[in-house]
């Protein structure tokens, strides 16, 4: 199961109810932090999540509201992980190595967690047998990326059929791995007793205007997490600063066959989420507005 925890849902400035940007995706033993705004490690503590458990950090771009919390995470993880072997993997757009170097040089007492940085552009940037991560370029005032998490497809055993054919124990594992087995002299193919269950897709559309990258991220996604900084009545302001309106985000989800939309990165002008939700639902019915500490299971 994939669990998403919203640690920060505001945009440029934190408010009393909304922290700066941060989204944590948990899957199996992986805790993947997408953006790391100011105060994210405190948000994690409140949510009952240990910062030291984070395995990967994905940085969409280097505007402060998406990275101001990164130095704190590195420091806290270094303290918590003393005498333990761990490497934190950090992925971001071109320039990430330079910016991170300057960030680390800006303070003393560098008892930081070991980390590796990989600058990425487009396509698959990490893959194992259980999932893969992709990046797509977005269109913002700085080099910006969006990300998608793709769970690997699984073979699901039809227990009644397997039992009828006498398949049990380790043989079920062989069939799940796509291998044929022999029971009582009869060859049984994986498709005889199982079917392919497609993996889930979760995407994060960070700061951008409508673009091909946003559409590709939303395409057939089970959950699209997208910025919706302003309502459409001030779309000129959103366009000036290269942000999506709530209407833009909803149309991207609708036009690309997404199943669920979660609006985040809200301007501090919106004190209540009701008007944001109303606009989103006009264009995409299965929309929700993110709140700090909200969890979504996929």
Query: Which amino acids are annotated catalytic?
Result: 65
CA 235 to chain centre: 26
Q: Which residues of 174-187 are buried (b: 16+ CB within 10 A; e: fewer)?
A: ebeeeeebeeeeee
* CA–CA gap between residue 74 and residue 47 (Å, rounded): 19
Q: Cβ atoms within 10 A of the Cβ of 232, count?
A: 15
Report yes or no: 183 and 172 within 8 Å, Cβ to Cβ.
no
* CA–CA gap between residue 245 and residue 268 (Å, rounded): 14
* CA–CA gap between residue 233 and residue 245 (Å, rounded): 9
Report yes or no: 248 and 261 within 8 Å, Cβ to Cβ.
no
Q: Which residues pair with 279 in a beta bridge?
A: none
Report yes or no: 76 and 41 within 8 Å, Cβ to Cβ.
yes
CA nearest neighbour of 68 among 104, 110, 25, 38:
38
* CA–CA gap between residue 218 and residue 253 (Å, rounded): 6
Phi, psi of 157 (to 5 degrees): -80, 135
């Amino acid at each position: 199961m994939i669990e998403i925890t919203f640690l920060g849902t505001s945009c440029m400035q934190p408010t009393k109810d909304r922290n700066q940007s941060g989204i944590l995706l948990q899957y199996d033993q992986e805790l993947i932090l997408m953006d790391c705004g100011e105060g994210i490690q405190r948000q994690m503590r409140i949510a009952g999540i240990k910062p030291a458990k984070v395995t990967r950090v994905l940085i969409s771009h280097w505007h402060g509201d998406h990275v101001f919390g990164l130095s704190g995470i590195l420091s806290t993880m270094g303290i918590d992980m003393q005498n333990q072997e761990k490497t934190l993997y950090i992925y971001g757009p071109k320039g990430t190595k330079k910016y991170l170097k300057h960030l680390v040089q800006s303070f003393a007492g560098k008892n930081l967690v070991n980390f590796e940085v990989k600058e990425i552009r487009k396509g698959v940037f990490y893959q194992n047998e259980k999932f893969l991560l992709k990046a797509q370029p977005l269109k913002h005032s700085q080099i910006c990326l969006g990300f998608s998490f793709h769970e690997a497809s699984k073979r699901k055993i039809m227990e009644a059929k397997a039992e009828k054919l006498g398949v049990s124990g380790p043989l079920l594992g062989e069939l799940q791995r796509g291998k044929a087995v022999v029971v009582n002299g009869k060859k049984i193919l994986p498709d005889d007793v199982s079917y392919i269950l497609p993996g889930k897709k979760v995407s994060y559309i960070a700061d951008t205007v409508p673009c091909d990258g946003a559409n590709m991220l939303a395409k057939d996604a089970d959950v699209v997490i997208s910025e919706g900084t302003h309502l459409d009545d001030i779309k000129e302001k959103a366009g000036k600063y290269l942000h999506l309106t709530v209407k833009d985000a909803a149309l991207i989800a609708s036009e690309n066959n997404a199943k669920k939309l979660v609006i985040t990165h809200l301007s501090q002008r919106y004190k209540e989420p009701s008007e944001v939700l109303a606009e989103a639902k006009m264009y995409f019915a299965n929309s929700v507005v993110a709140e700090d500490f909200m969890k979504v299971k996929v």
